[in-house]
Structure 1
Amino acid sequence: MRIVFNTTSTSKTSYKMDSFVPLISVLCVFIIHLSSLVDGGGIGIKSLTVDNLPPLDQFVTLLKSRNISQIRLFSPDLKILNALQNSEIQVIIGTFNQDIAILAGDINFAKAWVQTNIIPYIQTITFRCISIGNEVIPAVGIYALASSSPPLTGDFSGDVKPGIEHIKCLLANNGFPLLITTYPYFSYIHEPSSIQLQFVLFTSPDVVARDESLGYMNMFDAMVDAVYSALEKVGAGGVEVVIYESGWPLQGNGDFTTTELARTYNQNLLSHVHGSGTPKKPDKNVEAYVFALFNENQKDSGVEQHFGLFNPDMTEVYHVDF
């Protein structure tokens, strides 16, 4: 069984030109099977939390027609897994949070879970990883990065660092990635007067922030490089960072959430991760997963329901090229 350290950086992230301290929640993700990471910078869609999906054969056809080759499922759904067989779409599959304790404490339950949800599909679906739970510790109460600005000063906080120290050798020795979520949107809405919108949307024509010889034209790269720097400081500089969730809502928060802003961010994110690495690691493309495939009507009201690229009837909310 493989273990990956998973962090989230979401709604309380803030970024200033002289202060970048994301609030990152921490959880562990147990990996049953992990395919090799995509060197060219993979891209996928995090899904699904919606109760009115289209027929599953049409759902898979939609994914393939848009060249979406990787998805994340929050929890096992045998109907969706059956539909994905032989589709060549790679899957990150999660478990229910309420199952975590019994999975950890009852080997027979864990074996039965794998026997039910993985073994029947092992020849027909490539499972990139199996994540145990989702945002299991959403309110750690401290900043996971004690230092993050400039990005090269990135360092895990005292409360988080022992957890990283505990698993760093496992990650480094086995080539397992650190999974993080990155939301420049939440940083921007927290202090819009201190952040250039172009810096958030990947549209700045010039360098906005510098760190020694490195120039940053977008916030995404600064966030990722701060984590890379923090990993180096615990002796895990070779561990890869995977962005397992990023996106921009199109409704729910006034002028901060428009279709054009969402389209611009997600399209530029896709183009960026396919085209280049970060200033710190320019030769290593970042693998990223966009949130979300569909607008999700089971989420809390407000922006959480409006991250989707498609409506449940499979019509586009807005167009992006994969």
Structure 2
Amino acid sequence: MATKQGVASMIAVALLVAAIPTVTDRDDDDVYTGVQSIGVCYGVHGDRLPSAAEVVQMYRSNGLDSMRIYFADSNALKALSGTNINLIMDVDNRNLASFARDRNAVDGWVRDNIKAFPGVNFRYITVGNEVEGSDTQFILPAMKNINAALAAAGLSHIKASTAVHSGVTEGFPPSEGTFNSKAATYMAPVARYLATTGAPLLANIYPYFSFLGNTDQIDIEYALFTSPGTVVEDGDNEYQNLFDALVDTMYSALEDAGAGSVRIVVSESGWPSAGGDKVNAATAANAQTYNQNLIRHVGQGTPKRPGAIETYIFAMFNENQKGGAPTEKHFGLFNPDKSPAYQISF
């Protein structure tokens, strides 16, 4: 999850929602280019969580048909085989250095975790999630090695990408967005490479954390999609919610880097329902409001980029073993026994 407290290993399940009309196009490489979807992520840091097989069945029974996992989880891959559920699978951050340096290691990983599961509908391979520090130097070479290994295995329709948080950008209003000086050295080459392969950039977008970090200037209604009118005017674009502003800031950064053709997939977004924070924003009512409005909103896109945004809500289950702030344990739509934490309509 993208938080200020750090990232833990988790599984993310992305779900196409039957209740929302879906428009799907594929280019010559069988890559999705216009998918309208809502995803739901579920973490593994909790007591008595359902097994991977139970989780897959839970999504199938609800007509939900896409999943993202943050590492090559053999239990999940076995459970997914033959289900027609689309999958985005990550390379664990701990593998980036070896994958950047050793093509043989990458070939073996592709063989053992992708080629070995022909019944799984792999979609994208995400090379690291919110990579920081010196490890950022490994993102691009690892991504290139993954794409080369996929092509050698006859799987060139699967594309490599990476996931970043909104903190890699700076600038206001959204049209002034750029990759900040710390991130630009690796993000600009990554963005331009994605433009050549046709893969999206995955972005973790959390209005909750942006609001929490700047409550003096950001109204909670702007973060919850409930502002009655325009809050930010940016040339011809008007912003009524913070989600759109954060996504369009990322789009402006891609344009500034010479990669304006790259599509953004919002790989994580959500709101905690409990745990306490300095302004008591982490409530079940606010979590329900944010996530329900997000589901309703993503089909229309942003002022800069109208059209459906593929978006993933964090999280499926509350996780009592998560570290960090107490709110980290309360991002779930469901409790571990599958009962709803609050009501959400897909």
User: Does the pair score TM above 0.5?
Assistant: yes
User: Once the two structures are aligned, what percentage of the paired residues are identical?
Assistant: 39
- The match for 2:302 among 278, 294, 314 is 278
Tell me the secondary structure at the aligned position of residue 277 of structure 1: coil
- The match for 2:39 among 41, 44, 58 is 44
List alignment gaps of at least 5 residues for structure 2.
6-28, 137-165
The aligned length equals: 289
Q: Find the aligned partners of 1:97 and 1:286 in 2 and give their Cα distance.
A: 26
Partner of 2:283: 258
Cα deviation, 1:165-210, whole Å, max 9, x if unaligned, reads: 3234322122111111111001112232322221111112211111
In the superposition, relative to structure 1, how do residues 61 and 38 fare at CA in structure 2: closer, same or farther (>3 Å)? Answer: farther
Does the Cα contact within 8 Å between 2:192 and 2:257 map onto a contact in 1? Answer: no
Partner of 2:188: 165
Q: Does residue 120 of the first structure (1) align with residue 116 of the second (2)?
A: yes
Q: Which amino acid is 2:323 matched to?
A: D
- The match for 2:4 among 11, 35, 57 is 11
Cα deviation, 1:262-292, whole Å, max 9, x if unaligned, reads: 1111111111112x0101112x221111111
Q: Find the aligned partners of 1:230 and 1:133 in 2 and give their Cα distance.
A: 20
Does the Cα contact within 8 Å between 1:251 and 1:303 map onto a contact in 2? Answer: yes
Per the normalisation by structure 1, the TM-score is 0.82
List alignment gaps of at least 5 residues for structure 1.
1-7, 13-33
Q: Which amino acid is 2:329 matched to?
A: Q
Tell me the secondary structure at the aligned position of residue 128 of structure 2: coil
CA RMSD of aligned residues (A): 2.5
In the superposition, relative to structure 1, how do residues 233 and 38 fare at CA in structure 2: closer, same or farther (>3 Å)? Answer: closer
Partner of 1:109: 105
Aligned 1:66-215 pairs, distance under 5 A: 66-122=62-118, 124-137=119-132, 144-147=168-171, 149-215=172-238
Q: Which amino acid is 1:134 matched to?
A: N
| 1:130 Cα offset (Å) | 1.8
Q: Does residue 268 of the first structure (1) align with residue 263 of the second (2)?
A: no
In the superposition, relative to structure 1, how do residues 38 and 67 fare at CA in structure 2: closer, same or farther (>3 Å)? Answer: farther
Q: Find the aligned partners of 1:97 and 1:160 in 2 and give their Cα distance.
A: 17
| 1:38 Cα offset (Å) | 5.5
Aligned 1:28-39 pairs, distance under 5 A: 36-37=31-32, 39=34
Q: Which amino acid is 1:76 matched to?
A: A
In the superposition, relative to structure 1, how do residues 127 and 47 fare at CA in structure 2: closer, same or farther (>3 Å)? Answer: farther
Tell me the secondary structure at the aligned position of residue 132 of structure 1: strand
| 1:143 Cα offset (Å) | 5.9
Does the Cα contact within 8 Å between 1:221 and 1:279 map onto a contact in 2? Answer: yes
Cα deviation, 1:19-50, whole Å, max 9, x if unaligned, reads: xxxxxxxxxxxxxxx96236242221223323
Cα deviation, 1:66-117, whole Å, max 9, x if unaligned, reads: 3332222121221121111122221221233322222222333222222221
Q: Which amino acid is 1:96 matched to?
A: D
In the superposition, relative to structure 1, how do residues 170 and 98 fare at CA in structure 2: closer, same or farther (>3 Å)? Answer: closer
| 1:10 Cα offset (Å) | 4.2
Q: Find the aligned partners of 1:229 and 1:58 in 2 and give their Cα distance.
A: 41
Q: Does residue 309 of the first structure (1) align with residue 302 of the second (2)?
A: no
| 1:144 Cα offset (Å) | 3.0
In the superposition, relative to structure 1, how do residues 258 and 197 fare at CA in structure 2: closer, same or farther (>3 Å)? Answer: same
Q: Which amino acid is 2:76 matched to?
A: I
